[in-house]
Amino acid sequence: MNGDQTTHWRRTRGLMWVTLAIWFVFSFLVHWFANTLNGMSFLGFPLGFYMAAQGSLVVFVVLIFWFARTQDRIDRECGVAEED
């Protein structure tokens, strides 16, 4: 494994952990406190309900698009991207 590959895997791992941290917050953390969040209102929804019915879903969609772009940039900068 050469230097570029080591850097690439370090950055890839970093991105993976950041992605999973965001995923963790919106998969588990916010829903653990759903009852408390329902006391607040967002777009006219009780917030706890909104997060489970829509909010977390939107975050997931955006997160994966962002992940795909960022990973692609890492691949290119480390010179291990596929040829176009």
Cα–Cα distance measured from residue 28 to residue 18, given in angstroms and rounded to the nearest whole number: 15
User: How many angstroms separate the Cα of 50 from the Cα of each of 22, 33, 42, 55?
Assistant: 18, 13, 8, 6
Does residue 5 bind another protein (CB under 8 A)? yes
Does residue 68 bind another protein (CB under 8 A)? yes
Does residue 53 bind another protein (CB under 8 A)? yes
Cα–Cα distance measured from residue 68 to residue 56, given in angstroms and rounded to the nearest whole number: 18
Cα–Cα distance measured from residue 8 to residue 14, given in angstroms and rounded to the nearest whole number: 10
Which of the residues 11 through 40 are near another protein (CB under 8 A)? Answer: 12, 15-16, 19-20, 23, 26-28, 31-35, 37-38
Interface with another protein by CB under 8 A: which residues?
A: 1, 5, 8-9, 12, 15-16, 19-20, 23, 26-28, 31-35, 37-38, 41-46, 48-50, 52-54, 56-58, 60-61, 63-65, 67-68, 71-72, 75, 79-83
